A = this chain, B = another copy of it.
Amino acid sequence: MTSTPPHLQTLLDAGLRLTSPRTEIARVLFGDGQARHVTADWIAAALDKGGKHIALGTIYNTLRHFLDLGLVREVHGTRTGATIFDTNTHPHHHIYDETTGQLTDISAVDVSLADQIDLPEGKTVSGYDVVIRVR
């Protein structure tokens, strides 16, 4: 019994059609349940390797949809040119190796913010990113 995987169900719930590029990209990203840090180029290469070419433009558009739906997150703070997308959507942060470019997850509980941070009035915290740089 092959039931619809949760990430594909999310697409359906959002009213998005279940098209071939979307399912293929989703398979590469979530297929084995393993969290990944990927770039658009990496996805394109992975698909090409499997004989399933998808236009880079479409990959970017699809990633943006996935971002909106919360299926992936962007990682900031690295000095690599391309945007890195993280398939781990649980609260967590990153260690960035400036020498190798290697990006490693760290648990959110290893980081704490003082509770007396002055926010601009009327604003609420929507999240925070921590990047620990090592070399």
Contacts and interface: CB of A to CB of B under 8 A. Distances in A.
Interface of A: 74, 76-79, 95, 97-98, 102, 104, 106, 109-114, 116-120, 123-135
Contact of A113 (B76, B110, B120): B110
A77 B129 contact: yes
B117 A114 contact: no
Nearest to A74: B79
B126 A134 contact: yes
A68 to B, nearest CB: 13
B123 A135 contact: yes
Nearest to A100: B120
B134 A131 contact: no
